[in-house]
Amino acid sequence: MSENGQGSIAALLGRKIGMTRVYDDKGTVVPVTVIEAGPNVVTQVKTEDGKDGYNAIQLGFEDAKERRTSKPIVGHCKKTGQTTPKKFFREVRLTAKSPLTAGATLDVDTFETIKYVDVTGISKGKGFQGVMKRWNFGGQPGSHGTERKHRSPGGIGGGQGTRGHGRAIRLGKKMSGHLGDEKVTARNLFLVSVDKEKHLLLVRGTVPGANGGILFIRQAKTVVNNTK
């Protein structure tokens, strides 16, 4: 159920479990990230001709305690016939009307025929970092008279003659500051295997965020022939 006029795409919310290694059928070691994906519930279906004006489905993941959830969310989930509200939601834009109805359950089956996935998560926060770690600057020489500024950015422009920007530091100049704890998408990761029994996806390589973090997994956007 992957490519039928983009009325449905493979997409799920899940949790990062951790990394390990597995062997492929040739016996080669493959580093993988284990993701517990779904089951997700479709909590809302938006249609172009409805009041929303566009096609999308909203996914809900993990049960939340009703008394710890706000009443609007409880009501929103109850509308679809759920007994418990969900903790995490994510909308998936579609180019055609979804065949699903609110209340439907999605699990890793949706990825059965998919070869490559994009994984979105919140990267690990690194705090206030210098320019070498944050932007991969080269820093200053270790010797030849350099004192106490081996990791500094060097000149940042400004003054006269910065090509029309005189006396001003260019907007968006790469400087030190907060690194990490932002939304990051790792694209075109190879989907090594799908475990239906435990709702697991094994994705080759690394995925943003810490173990236990919430991830959004969808079929790769840019891969043309993305079926097995």
Partner 1 sequence: MSKNALMAHVEAKHIKANPPQFDVGDIVDVHQRIVEGDKERIQIFSGTVIMVKGDGINTNFTVRRIVNNEGVERIFPLHSPKIEKLEVKRKSRVRRAKLYYLRERTGKATRLKEGDPIVVGEQTQAPAAPATPAAPVAETKPAEGTK
Which residues are near partner 1 by CB under 8 A?
A: 15, 17-18, 20-23, 26-27, 29, 32, 34, 36, 195, 198, 200, 202, 211-212
Q: CB-based contacts of 27: which residues, under 8 Å, 6+ apart?
A: none
> CB of residue 210 vs partner 1: minimum separation in angstroms?
12
Question: What is the torsional sign of CA 63, 66, 68, 69?
Answer: positive
Alpha-helix residue ranges (DSSP H) falling in the chain: 71-78, 131-135
CA 119 to chain centre: 4
For residues 14 and 153, which CB has a smaller minimum distance to partner 1 in the complex? 14
Residue 36 is encoded by which pair of tokens?
Answer: 């517990």
For the bound state, the minimum distance from the C-beta of residue 61 to partner 1, rounded and expressed in Å, comes to: 13
State the Cα angle at 221 between 3 and 186, rounded to 5°.
135
The least CB distance from residue 34 to partner 1, in Å, is: 5
**Backbone phi, psi, residue 53, to 5°:** 85, 5
Return the ∠ at Cα 126 (arms to 120 and 127), rounded to 5°.
Answer: 125
Strand 214-219 relative to strand 200-204, pairing: unpaired
Shortest distance (Å) from residue 117 CB to partner 1: 17
114 or 201: CB nearest partner 1: 201
Closest contact distance (angstroms) between CB of 86 and partner 1 is 16
Shortest distance in whole angstroms from residue 209 CB to partner 1: 14
Residue in 124, 142, 116 with CA at minimum distance from that of residue 218: 116
Name beta bridge partners: 32. 20, 204
Q: Name which of 36 and 118 has its Cβ closer to partner 1.
A: 36
Task: State which residue, 38 or 153, has the beta carbon closest to partner 1.
Answer: 38
